Structure formats: C-alpha cells, structure tokens
Amino acid sequence: MNDDRQNDKDPTAWDSGNPVDRIEGTGRNRGNAIQFSWWNLLLVVPLAMLITAVYNRDEPRLFGMPMFYWYQFSFVAVGVGCVAIVYLATRNRRRPPSATGSGADLQDVTR
C-alpha cells in the first residue's frame, strides 16, 4: 500500500530503536512516524507576537488605536496566513488510500 511505503522510508522513525518499542512492539510498530516538512517551521512565525517590546507603544495610532492594539489585531491575519500556507503546502503529502480509488463516499465512515 501507498501508506506502507511511506512509513518504510520514514527517516524520522528514530524512536523505533528505543528498547521500549522493541519489547512492546506489535510487529507493525514503526515508532512514532513523525512526518516533517520544512513548511511546518512557518508555524513558529506567529509566536513573534509574544515579543511585547516591539509593539508596547502608543504611537503610531491607526484609526485612533494605539500601536499595542492594532499590531496585535494584525497578527490575526499573520496567524491565519501561516497556518493556511502550511495546510496548502503539505495537504497532498499523505493521501487517504481510498481517495485514489472511488473516493466518492469518503464522508460515510460510519457505514
């Protein structure tokens, strides 16, 4: 399966050498199967709003709002933008196997 090949090549399954995993492994245990993408680093960018020294000032004002407020409001867009880029850039990395087949009834997982 698609899925299997991806796991075999997964370079990040570093933890499967851990004694705990070896002892308790169920045979198909491939560690933690962490999938890394450089795009994910974009998720760190919004944390810049924690650096209060940058924007803890009154001037310049925007629509009468001190910089402290409009700067943080602008980070709503930064946060949304970063998450959206990561979503779009990594969305095809792991396709559900059946999506390549019929794909029509993806929603009906309960049936």
Partner 1 sequence: MTGINTVELGVFTVLFIGVAVMGFLAARWKSGSTMDHLDEWGLGGRKFGSWVTWFLVGGDLYTAYTFVAVPALVFGAGAIGFFALPYTVILYPIVFLPVLRLWSVSRSHGYVTPADFVRGRYGSPILALIVAITGIVATMPYIALQLVGLEAVLRTMGINGSGFIGHLPLFIAFLVLALYTYRSGLRAPALIAFVKDALIYLVIIVAVIYLPAAFGGWGTIFDSAAAKFDATPSPADGILLTSNNQLQYATLALGSALALFLYPHSATGILASRGRDVIKKNMIALPAYSLVLGLIALLGYVAITAGVKPIVNESTGRPDGNTLVPELFNTQFPSWFAGVAFAAIGIGALVPAAIMSIAAANLWTRNIYKEYISRHATAKQEATQAKWASLVVKFGAVAFILFIDPQFSIDLQLIGGVIILQTLPAVAIALYTRWLHSVALIAGWVVGMAGGLYLLWTIPNPTIGKDHFGGSALTLSQLSIFGWHPFGDSTLQIYVGVVALAANLLVAVLLTLVLRALGIRDGRDSTSGRDYHADEGDPALRPVAAH
Contact between 75 and partner 1 (CB under 8 A)? yes
- The whole-angstrom separation of Cα 111 and Cα 108 is 6
Q: Which is nearest to 37 in space by CA: 98, 5, 85?
A: 85
For partner 1, which is the closer residue by CB, 38 or 69? 69
Among 38, 60, 83, 89, binds partner 1 (CB under 8 A): 83
State the DSSP H helix or E strand holding residue 86, giving kind and residue range, or none if neither.
helix 67-90
Q: Which of 5, 84, 89, 92 binds partner 1 (CB under 8 A)?
A: 84
Cα 80 to Cα 82: distance, rounded to the nearest angstrom: 6
Q: Is 60 in the site for partner 1 (CB under 8 A)?
A: no
Question: Amino acid identity, residue 76?
Answer: V
Q: Is 13 helix (H, G, I), strand (E, B) or coil?
A: coil
Q: What is the binding site for partner 1 (CB under 8 A)?
A: 3, 7, 10, 13, 15-16, 18-21, 23-26, 28-35, 40, 43-47, 49-53, 56-58, 61, 63-66, 68-69, 72-73, 75-76, 78-80, 82-84, 86-87, 91, 94, 96-99, 103, 106-107, 109-110
